[in-house]
Structure 1
């Protein structure tokens, strides 16, 4: 009764079958060669045929025995002996030393050594030497053959050295392969232990990449069992409406030879069917001769919820009668956000976290600019620095992606921006305000599954276009419930809303109309009740060649403060009296100033600051080099504090930081030689003002 081989030896069977069949083929060709070419074959024909027959019978037995005993010690010991004996007979019959059959010794040694390791290599090498010395002894005693001693020495050395040399090379190659494999295993081990959801993907025959690996953290964001994820298309991780975003990013990574990361924002559902908002980044790498994509996912649901809450508060603050009061507090909040993010950037070493903090700072700066724009509702100055088209495209795409993941799951949002948008009389902040308000209105009107389409195009044929200067057209279409004909004349009136019970303020379209009107543009609204609404906005081209579409806000773009000292290279360390009635802002400004190398004394009110200053004058110790004070504070304000200090010192530099204040009082600042810095402040702005004063 035949017995199956143990499971752990099953992997040896195919290799041994291959080696046995190779031996059978070689013995047949070798025997034919000796029959045709061997000079002594006729003299030893019986011996030769007997040896070949025995060898063939042994190999046939081996084929039968391999499945039962892949690790047979007897077979491993006998097979090389028969190999060496048959090669020796072949050399003798084929003119002795000069026979080409000598090369079969190397085949025997290397095949056994590579397949079965170092012991079999040494065993085969010893058998080869013994059998070859036997052939040499036979050649020496045979009067018909002659022995070439130099050739003998060369052949013996080759049998000793060449297999060893090949063995050393193969050993190093194997070590290198094992090290590479170990490094890859360690990499996947690190991915398995990573708290961030990660998956890998490869290109599929149908051009849609498929998932090949998912780490354990993916279970937090995937709705089903992880075992069902392998082999699926990459869009399975997202809601159906956002699946194309994942496919597009993964395809771009596999096709991009420069390996630039692709970023996307999607909505998903976890195992508890909760809607998630995810940010993903894909890239590619070459692994074992294949291009493999890798995707890192970040759950930004909570952060986007906070962002949405802040955005809602900002929209509600559009009521004109409340703007002045809100501006001061809002800018103080932005100062805290931007300052905290900058202080964290100074200590964070992780570049990805630092980049995310940079986005927070940029968002804070943009929020400040939006407040300024609402306060003034004026067009930007003609000499503002223009934003290039690539920056416009990236900024709007990023904003729309963030808005997309905040939408309900049943709404699909599509953005189509024409490359090379024309210069127009509108800036980037105003354009973002228009899009956010229109998308918000469209979303609130859609209670059933549908899509919102947004297009930005150059319009050469509109009446507002000039010769060779096209107008900018913004078109948005939704599949919502539409507007009743009798309400069409009401929609742009302040505070009118058909959704007052749902929290509508009636200010969104009013703000859009005001921006369009101030730019000299046109607003056209078409709607069919029960089918949806189409809004077309046309903005005229810029009035001169120096005007450009989407001018940047007055604040400078935020950069990662990995090297803050570059802004304070020529700054002298000063003793600074810092005054602010907001404890949070006070701590932030203190951290920024101390980061610059200054000594800082703080006061939470103008009255406390005055006492500290008078004490320093009286004791003539710790004299201050600069006072940095808030303008609007409870009780005595910054201007009143300055008036008292100017009675004692007319030369002390004073920097007043303000969010929003009494215009008449601010005009007096010049009289008292006060430098003004608007909130929210940043490390770079604050450092630049202090260097000016020095």
Structure 2
């Protein structure tokens, strides 16, 4: 019965020797059924790389169950539990692969954070909209007042040629005040646009419906949300968006999340001010795919790392707070949309990522349950 158990199970005697294991133990933590009867030349916990945290050693010495999680988030995570046998003849070690469980938990935490951000954004949007609406209304009133004041200003200047107000001559007032009012109104509408993006983001948290989507609009919405981050990375930032793209069928917020991840990764890869960062869209008529490409002139990806960039927890930025989930989640979203992510990179030269989605006329027949990330070769 234990041979069919999904976990790796082994019996360890009091001397630390493995006396039995099921087939699932093969390859787990560097041990296999061929290791039965051997404990190796090193202490058991050294074999696991656990030091004093080895649950088997703990259970053997304490007589109570012990457990520990081991492994590397970039590869596999294992939960090891050691249970002492009643006659003190050893322990039963149960080793379970918890990589997927860990990934799902982190994704849930990320989704919870997004939901919290959504609630915060809704409150902020309401608080900003009210005073901003007042600003827009009052700017219109000031513009009307200025138009009515100009004849009076002309009359006053005819009697006092050196007339000035707030340190500005009448000529400068005529030249600059209309532009100042226009700039203020433009800034106010920009605030309104940002607020609408925030409100839209919140709505999409609850409206993950499939619909025909303009990929250009997905990018432009993401770019507005990323405006400050893009400025911060001081890139030579360029956009080349094809007009009249065919729509793609999908969930706006999910695709927006993919684009945000791709652009943020590109920003974080830049090592010096003025490095290139370009976003482009086009329609591949041969493949009938709508394409969004993000290309950076950053540090690039090492050849041995390139095939792993969408693996859960794989990141080269762990010390800077990277979780290794951004591209993994993006890959899952793109796969659910019947698309693919293509990666091309040269160490020291930069990286290019293509998001490819089936155009709406072929989306239904080409959408499938599997679509793997591919690596383009130079």
Structure with the higher strand share, 1 or 2: 2
Relative to the length of structure 2, the TM-score reads 0.48
Point out the structure with max Rg over C-alpha. Answer: 1
